[in-house]
Every structure is written in structure tokens, then in C-alpha cells.
A and B are shown apart, each in its own frame.
Chain A
Amino acid sequence: MLLEVKCYATLAKFQPKESEFHLGPKPMLRDLIAFLGIPEAEIKISFANGVIVGPEYELQEGDRVGLFPAVGGG
């Protein structure tokens, strides 16, 4: 499955180099997060194609996925 994934700020260390992922049939966002090794609690907002989605979102071929941590600096 081809996905465009972006891990923001402190999650950048989990940024995958690849864009093709083998996550099994009907993978959910949770599967991608586990594959990337990100503790779910570190993600405050996840979105696909510009819309906020939860860990049970069913990934679609070609999705643009963003994972965003808590950010509160001024």
C-alpha cells in the first residue's frame, strides 16, 4: 500500500523513508502507527487527506497521513 506519511516535530524521529507499506489486509491507522513504532499516547492529532481521523480509520491506497504530537510552545 502506498502512503504519504509525515511525522511532525518530536515524532520526526519515526518518519519512514519509504512510501510503500505492507500492513496486511484492510489496515487501520493503528497498524501503521504500530509499524512505525510510535507510542499511541505520543500522537495528539492524526489526520488523513486533511481530515482528522482516529486509530481505527481504515487506510486507503494513496492516503496522505499526518501524525502530530502535543505542541504548546510560545
Chain B
Amino acid sequence: MSASFDQRYIRNFSTLSEADQQRLHTARICQLGLGGLGGTLLEMLARMGFGRKGKGWIRAADGDVFEASNLNRQLFCLESTIGRPKAEAALERVQTVNSEVDLSTWQAVVGPKDMPDFIQGADIVLDALGDLPTKLALRQAAAEAGLPMISAAVAGWTGFITTQLPGDPDAGIFQGVLGQNDRTEGAEVPLGTLAPCVWLIASLQCREAVALASGHPPLFHGCLHIVDLTDASWERITFH
């Protein structure tokens, strides 16, 4: 059963104004990654009403198929979707959550060469990738396209989020946190990634997407927020 506009979004108001809600509808979002961060993030984008058909859209990509080791945290990974492409499962899920969303998916590994095409026409780029070199490449592509990008990552109980806006200096937080041409293995390899932390950080990404799409000041720009669920600490770190 589909829901009327009034029913579907009524509990968004008045924390979101109707004008804000309309801006989410008209948003054009490109999200790379449909795993842990990406599944939860896309689910929330759909529920919030981003990219409504005829007004805006969401484009999401992932070249992987679900594996049993994804069940611990990836929202679209079900016992029944193991072995299936993440992009395909995401389409099905969003259709059941909010059929008004104009979602298209790329069932492909989007490498640095494909990134300009992938983010073409977007208002906002969302980094839900799970490896460091690809994150750096997407940061570069978003910067060259003049698009804002909301980036995040997790390892164990620790996660971070930061927003890059067009014109930000190259020597931003990314070089620090992700390294530059650096083959360092991320802490997620030995520590794994836990659902509460992944979903919390994905929630922060969605929150920031609401801010950017609705024209409000971003919360995570010019700084890095590190959340650590081992001791409930939250650090806001600036460059200067």
C-alpha cells in the first residue's frame, strides 16, 4: 500500500519545514558504496524523501555481491540476499520503503576513471566506500567537479565524518586521516566493523545530507568528528 504525501512525511514536520522537505525531494544525490555505511544511508535517504521522482534523484553504485560476513552490519544483506548484487538488493529495498524515490543503481565497481561520469549532475556526493584509496579518488573527483562530499569511515567502535565543500584546500583533513598515496592498511582490517558504530556514522552522514540539501549550514565542514563507542567520546577536530 502506498502512502500519501501527508501521511508519509508528517512526522518530519515541523523539525523539517515543508520547504526543507521539498528541497530533499529535489536533491540529486550520488552515493558510492552500498555496504555497511551505504545500506543504512540509502535507507534513511529514502525514508527522508530525498530524490523524489519527477523532482530529484539518487544514483548509487556498488560492484559487490553480498557475502555472509556482511550480515553483521549491512542493512540490505539478508540470509536471502547472500550471493546477490548489492545494487540489485538496494533497488528492491528502496522500492518497498519509498516507491516515490527515483533511484538508479550502477552494478559496477566505480573506479577513478568512472567517477566523473558517476557524479555527473549531482548536487551532493556521498562517500560510503570501504577502502582508503577509492575514498581519496572520490574526494579528488568531487573537488574537481565542484561538488560537496560527505565522507565517513569506521573501524571497530570508532568512526569519523567530515564534509568537503568545493574550493576547500587540497591539504585538508583527508590527507591526514586517509593518507596520500599511502598503502597503509586501515584499522578496519584487524578490528572489523560493528553495526552500532556503522549505523551511527551513516546516520550522521544522512543528517549532513539534510543540511546540505535543504540549504542549511553543514555540521561537519572544516573539521573532523571522531566518535568512539568504547567510551562514548566525541571529538571535534579542526585544522588550525
Contacts and interface: CB of A to CB of B under 8 A. Distances in A.
Interface of A: 6, 8-10, 12, 41-42, 44-45, 47, 50-52, 66, 68-74
Contact of B230 (A12, A50, A51): A12
Given A9-B191, A10-B191, A44-B184, A71 B237 contact: no
Contacts of A42: 184
A73 B188 contact: yes
Contacts of A73: 36, 130, 153-155, 186-189, 193
B237 A51 contact: yes
Nearest to A45: B176
A46 to B, nearest CB: 9
Contacts of A74: 33, 35-38, 128-131, 152-154, 193, 198
B132 interface: yes
B240 A72 contact: no
Interface string B100-137: 00000000000000000000000000001111100100
Contact of A66 (B36, B176, B188, B226): B226
A51 B179 CA distance: 18
In this complex, the interface size class of chain B, counting residues with CB under 8 Å from chain A, is 35 or more
B160 A71 contact: yes
A66 to B, nearest CB: 6
B44 to A, nearest CB: 15
Nearest to A8: B158
Nearest to B41: A74
Interface string B173-213: 10011110010111111110100001000000000000000
A74 B31 CA distance: 13
A8 B228 CA distance: 8
Contacts of B84: none
5 contacts: A9-B158, A44-B178, A71-B186, A73-B186, A73-B188
Contacts of A6: 228, 233
Contacts of B129: 72, 74
B94 interface: no
Nearest to A46: B176
B237 A47 contact: yes
Contacts of B33: 74
B80 interface: no
Given A70-B132, A74-B38, A45 B158 contact: no
A1 B155 CA distance: 31
